Amino acid sequence: MKKNILPVIGYLALASAASFLLVTMAGLFWKMAETAPQRAFSAHRAWFAVRLSLSSATLSTAIAMVFALPSGYVLSRRRFPGKNILETALLLPMVISPVALGALLLIFFNTPPGRLVEKIIGPVVFESRGIIVAQFVVISGLAVTLVKTVFDYVSRDYEDTARSLGCSETETFFRVTLPTSARGLAATAILVWARALGEFGATVTLAGATTYKTETLPVAIYLALASADVYHTGVLIILSFAMAFAVLFLLKTAAGVRDSYPSH
Amino acid sequence: MIELRNINYRAGDFALNDISFSASRAEYFALLGPTGSGKTLLLKILAGLIPPSSGGVFFDSEDVTRLAPEDRAFGYVAQDYRLFSHLNAVENILFSPRVRRLPDDAKGILLGDIVSKLDIAPLLKRRVTNLSGGERQRVALARTLASRPSLVLLDEPFSAIDEGLKKHLWFEIKGILSAAGVPVIHVTHDIEEAVTLADKIAVVIDGKIRQTGTPKDILLRPSSERIARYLGIKNIFVGRVVSGDSRGYLIEISGAVISAPVPPESLAVAPEAGDEVTVCARPQSVKIIRPSEAVRDELKENMFDGVIVGAYFFSDSVSVFVKCGDLVWEARLPHAVYHRNELSVGKKIIIALWRPDVMVYK
C-alpha cells in the first residue's frame, strides 16, 4: 500500500508555523522580563492607538468595499478594452512597497490636484484623515480583486433567471448577486480589514507619527522600538495580537465563514 | 407564435449560423442536440439574455429582439433550476410577484392557484437546499409560472433528476404546462425525452438547425447520415447503388444486396446507379424471423442468414448482434422475443430489415 505522506507534511508545516509563533512570543516575554520599562506605561495612549487603528481600518474597509462592489461586478461581468491592464494595475499596491505608495501620495498632495482634493475632503497630509487615505489606497486594489473573484463564482444562470423573472440588472445585483455571494464578500471584507489594520508604511509616510493624532498601533510599536523601549514594544505587540485575533475570530464566526470542504 | 429569423451569433470558435424556426402557441417545441451544439445559447437569445449578432426574435409578430429580458415575460428555467439559496421555497415562488410589486391579495391568490396546481403545499417553508431534485423542479416551475410568462423556456429540465423518476415527471410537467396554457420551448440532449414530450422538434448540431419535424419524422426519417448517427442509429453501412427506379433502390454492401425505398424528396438528393451511398437501419427495424412464421411483404426483400455474435441486456430490451456475411447487424428486441425464440450467442438465425425504415443517404 502506498504511504499517504501529504497530510503528514501538512500537519508538520502547521506545527512548524505554530511553534515559530510560540517561540518568538516566548522570546518577547523573556526579553520583557529582563528589561525594565523606560517610562511608565500609558494605558490611555495605548487605548487611543487601539481605537484609532480599529476605527480607521473599519472606515477605510467600508469605503473600499463600497468602491469594490460595483467595480468588482463590472470587472466580473463585462468585457472592455484595457480590462487586463486595469486588473494588473489593481494588484500593484500589493506588490509595491507601502512606503513608496505613501511617498507617492505625499507628493501628490503637494501638487495642485492634490491640494484641490484636500479642499474637498479636508486636510490629509500629517492628519488623521491621511491614515484613511493611505489605508484605502493600499487595500482598495485587493478589495476589488477579491470581490471580482467572489462574483466570478456566482453562476450567471442565477442572474439570468432573475432577469427573466422581471428584475433589471441593478435589481438583480441587489436581490440575487449580493445575497448569493454574501459569505464570500464577508470573507473579503475581513481580509481587507485585516490588511488595513496592519498597514504601516504608507500611513506613517503620509499621516506621520504624531502622538494622540496619527499614532495607530503599528506606528506606536515603531515609535516604542525606535526609542529602544523593549517593554513598551512588547506590550503593544501583545495588544496587537490579542486585538487582531479576537476581532478576526468574531468576524469570521459572525459571517459564517467556515470550511467548505468536508474534513476526514 | 414565437419565431426566430436568421439568427447569427459568434462566440470565439463557436457560431450559431442562420437559425430560423417557428413554434405555434399550441406546440410543445423541443430543441434537441448534443452537448455543445448551441441549444442553450439559442434559448438565451430567445430569452433576451444574449443579443444575437444579426437576425430577429418575434413573438406574436412583434419584434422583441432588442427588448430586455425583464420586459419579454418569457419564463427561463435554467439547468439545475437555480433556485435562490438565500430564499426559502415560497420566497422563491413569490420572487417575481414581489419584484413586480403585486398587491398582497393578488400574490395570495396567485400562490394558492400555483400551489394547488403543482401540489407543493408541504414544500413552501422548506429551505431550497434541502429539497430533492423533483421537489426543486416543481418549485422552479412554480416560480416561473408565478411570473405569468407568455412563453416558458426550459433548459435541460430533467438533467438533475434520477433516471427512474424522470419518465414519471415528463408527463406530469407537460400536463402542468399544458393546463397552464403556456407554450414551451424545451432544450434537451436526451432523444427519448424530446420525442416523448414534443409536438415538434428542431435538431441542432454544431450551431445549425439540421432538421425540423414531428418526433416521427425525426426518428424514422433523419434527413442526413449525421442526424442518423446522432439519433443513435447503429446499422450504418457504406454501399453502392446497383439499380434504382421509382419503387426504390438495390444497394450492394460487402456482397449483400439491400432493398431500400426512395427517400422523400425533401430529405436527400436522389442517388443514381453506381453512386456511393450510406444505408442506415434502426436496430428496432431489424426483425428476427422464425422459420415457421409467415413473412410480411415489407420484410421479404431483406432477409439474411446469420449467427448471433453478441447480446447485451438493457432494462427494457436486448441488443442482439447478428453476423450476416461480412456485416454485423444490431437488432433491438423486447426481452420476451429474445427468450421466446431461445436466442443465445452462437445460434444461427434469420433476420430481416423492415424495408420502409431503411434509409439511404448520398
Is residue A45 very low, low, confident or very high in pLDDT (cuts 50, 70, 90)?
Answer: confident
Indicate yes or no: CB of B147 within 8 angstroms of CB of A166: yes
Is residue B195 very low, low, confident or very high in pLDDT (cuts 50, 70, 90)?
Answer: very high
> What pLDDT is stored for residue A256 in this prediction?
66
Q: What digits encode the pLDDT tens for the residues A118-159?
A: 999 999 999 999 999 999 999 999 999 999 999 999 999 999
Within this chain, do residues B199 and B291 fall inside the same structural domain, yes or no?
no
> What pLDDT is stored for residue B343 in this prediction?
92
Indicate yes or no: CB of A155 within 8 angstroms of CB of B96: no
Query: Does residue B134 carry a pLDDT above 90?
Result: no
Domain count, chain B: 2
Indicate yes or no: CB of B68 within 8 angstroms of CB of A160: no
> What pLDDT is stored for residue B175 in this prediction?
86
CATH number of B247's domain: 2.40.50.100
> What pLDDT is stored for residue A258 in this prediction?
58
The string of DSSP letters for A162-224 reads HHHTT--HHHHIIIIIHHHTHHHHHHHHHHHHHHHHT--HHHHHHH---TTTT--HHHHHHHH
- Write down the domain spans for chain A: 1-34, 38-254
Using the structure block, give the residue that is written with the C-alpha cell 451544439: B37
Query: Does residue B265 carry a pLDDT above 70?
Result: no
Helices (H), chain A: 6-34, 43-77, 83-95, 98-108, 112-121, 128-152, 156-164, 169-172, 178-180, 182-197, 201-207, 217-226, 230-254
Query: Does residue A57 carry a pLDDT above 80?
Result: yes
The string of DSSP letters for B17-60 reads EEEEEEE-TT-EEEEE--TTSSHHHHHHHHHTSS--SEEEEEET
> What pLDDT is stored for residue A81 in this prediction?
95
Average pLDDT along chain A:
91
> What pLDDT is stored for residue B268 in this prediction?
52
Instruction: Confirm if B99 and A171 have CB atoms less than 8 A apart.
Output: yes
Within this chain, do residues B203 and B236 fall inside the same structural domain, yes or no?
no
Query: Does residue A1 carry a pLDDT above 70?
Result: no
Section A204-223 average pLDDT:
92
Query: Does residue A260 carry a pLDDT above 70?
Result: no
> What pLDDT is stored for residue B162 in this prediction?
78
Q: Is A178 in the B-facing interface, judged by CB distances under 8 Å?
A: no
CA distances from A156 to A145, A172, B31, B37, B304 (A): 19, 11, 21, 19, 56
> Could you give the percent of chain A with pLDDT greater than 70?
94
Q: Please give the span between the terminal C-alpha atoms of chain B, in angstroms, as a whole number.
A: 36
> What pLDDT is stored for residue B294 in this prediction?
86
Of A242-251, B113-122, B290-299, B347-356, give the range with the top mean pLDDT. Answer: B347-356
Q: Is A49 in the B-facing interface, judged by CB distances under 8 Å?
A: no
Within this chain, do residues B234 and B206 fall inside the same structural domain, yes or no?
no
> What pLDDT is stored for residue B290 in this prediction?
86
Given B164, B191, B223, the domain boundary residue is: B223
Within this chain, do residues B289 and B256 fall inside the same structural domain, yes or no?
yes
- Please state, as a whole number, how many other Cβ atoms lie within 10 Å of the Cβ of residue A225: 15
Given B188, B223, B258, the domain boundary residue is: B223
Within this chain, do residues B97 and B232 fall inside the same structural domain, yes or no?
no
- Please state, as a whole number, how many other Cβ atoms lie within 10 Å of the Cβ of residue A78: 8
Within this chain, do residues B114 and B258 fall inside the same structural domain, yes or no?
no
Indicate yes or no: CB of B143 within 8 angstroms of CB of A165: yes
From the options 3.10.20.440, 3.30.465.10, 3.90.550.10, 1.10.3720.10, give the CATH code of A38-254.
Answer: 1.10.3720.10
Within this chain, do residues B218 and B243 fall inside the same structural domain, yes or no?
no
Within this chain, do residues B240 and B205 fall inside the same structural domain, yes or no?
no
Residue of B nearest to A169 (CA): B70
Q: What digits encode the pLDDT tens for the residues A71-98?
A: 999 999 999 999 999 999 999 998 999 9
Q: What digits encode the pLDDT tens for the residues B35-58?
A: 999 999 999 999 999 999 999 999
Stretch among A30-34, A38-42, B138-142 having the lowest mean pLDDT: A38-42
Residues of B in contact with A157 (CB under 8 A): 78-80, 82
Within this chain, do residues B267 and B197 fall inside the same structural domain, yes or no?
no
Q: Which residue would you say has higher pLDDT here, A119 or A39?
A: A119
> What pLDDT is stored for residue A264 in this prediction?
54
Within this chain, do residues B178 and B237 fall inside the same structural domain, yes or no?
no
> Could you give the percent of chain B with pLDDT greater than 70?
98
> What pLDDT is stored for residue B264 in this prediction?
63
Q: How far apart are CA B87 and CA B125, in angstroms?
A: 10
Q: What digits encode the pLDDT tens for the residues B2-26?
A: 999 999 999 888 999 999 999 988 8
Residue of A nearest to B152 (CA): A164
Within this chain, do residues B272 and B324 fall inside the same structural domain, yes or no?
yes
Indicate yes or no: CB of A161 within 8 angstroms of CB of B76: yes
CATH number of B218's domain: 3.40.50.300
Which value does ipTM take for this structure?
0.81
> Could you list the residue range(s) of the whole structural domain that residue B142 is in?
2-223
Residue of B nearest to A181 (CA): B86
Q: A–B: how many Cβ contacts below 8 A? A: 68
Q: What digits encode the pLDDT tens for the residues B286-335?
A: 999 988 888 898 898 999 999 999 999 998 899 999 999 999 999 999 99
> What pLDDT is stored for residue B74 in this prediction?
93
pTM for the complete prediction?
Answer: 0.81
Q: Is A174 in the B-facing interface, judged by CB distances under 8 Å?
A: no
Q: How far apart are CA A261 and CA B155, in angstroms?
A: 29
